[in-house]
Amino acid sequence: MNSLDFSIVLQAWPYLWSGLLFSLALTAVAFVVGMILGTCLALLQHFEVPVIGKVVRGYIALIRSIPLILVLFWFFFLVPIVLGHLSGNGRPIPIGATWTAFITFGLFEAAYYSEIIRVGLRAVNRGQFEACQALALSTFETYRSVILPQVLRVASPIILSQTIILFQDTSLVYVLSLTDLLGAASKLAQLNGRLVEMYLVVVVVYLAISSAASQGVALLRKRYAIAGVRR
């Protein structure tokens, strides 16, 4: 431990910071895409749309049954081949590591957010729907103005818990050679040989951000008095 030199971390901090910004950007985009798409998927199941509802349930079951890292590999290697065949020239159409990460994370998280929203929809008191009908609100207005705001408010602790896991999962993009926080630290560690210092900094950053967000989850749970869930 006496040989540890954290001055190298200060020198390399701009590069680590750029990696952290990429991790946060990926988290933010995946959260927005996942919530929007997940809400749509949850509504399709809630309305029990014929055929489409079964397709949605199959998609969610598939995504929740396989590791995210495998989905990243599939999208990065197989989708370009499929696109090449669909285009007619038979040659793979590269998507790129960055697009692969953002699209894959968004689609993957949509399955988890969808289940959170779906359970929230089932928990809404039937009287809420009857009251909206009595006020002659359309289905769109009922869900936009009355139902979904309640679901999102009550499910917010669980949604935030899932987002914390999402932030931690962004470290998996190292398999695509992208420079997220962990990727930046790994590349620097290979250059200067300071593996312990670099990885300790990564641990501290992840711990600080996840702990702060976890405190937010605890406050929300206390406020709305519901139990959280884990993946």
Query: Tell me, what CATH number does 64's domain have?
Result: 1.10.3720.10
CA–centroid distance for 53 within its chain: 22
37 inside domain: yes
Q: How many domains does the chain have?
A: 1
Residue 224: its pLDDT value, please? Answer: 65
Give me the phi and psi of 43, to 5 degrees please: -65, -40
Residue 226: its pLDDT value, please? Answer: 43
31 inside domain: yes
8 Å CB contact between 158 and 220? no
Q: Which domain holds residue 34?
A: 7-224
202 inside domain: yes
* Cα 219 to Cα 116: distance, rounded to the nearest angstrom: 19
pLDDT under 70: residue ranges of the chain: 1-2, 4-5, 224-231
120 inside domain: yes
1 inside domain: no
Residue 39: its pLDDT value, please? Answer: 94
Residue 209: its pLDDT value, please? Answer: 93
Residue 2: its pLDDT value, please? Answer: 52
2 inside domain: no
Contacts of 125 (CB under 8 A, 6+ apart): none
Residue 56: its pLDDT value, please? Answer: 93
* Cα 142 to Cα 44: distance, rounded to the nearest angstrom: 15
17 inside domain: yes
195 inside domain: yes
* Cα 113 to Cα 39: distance, rounded to the nearest angstrom: 7
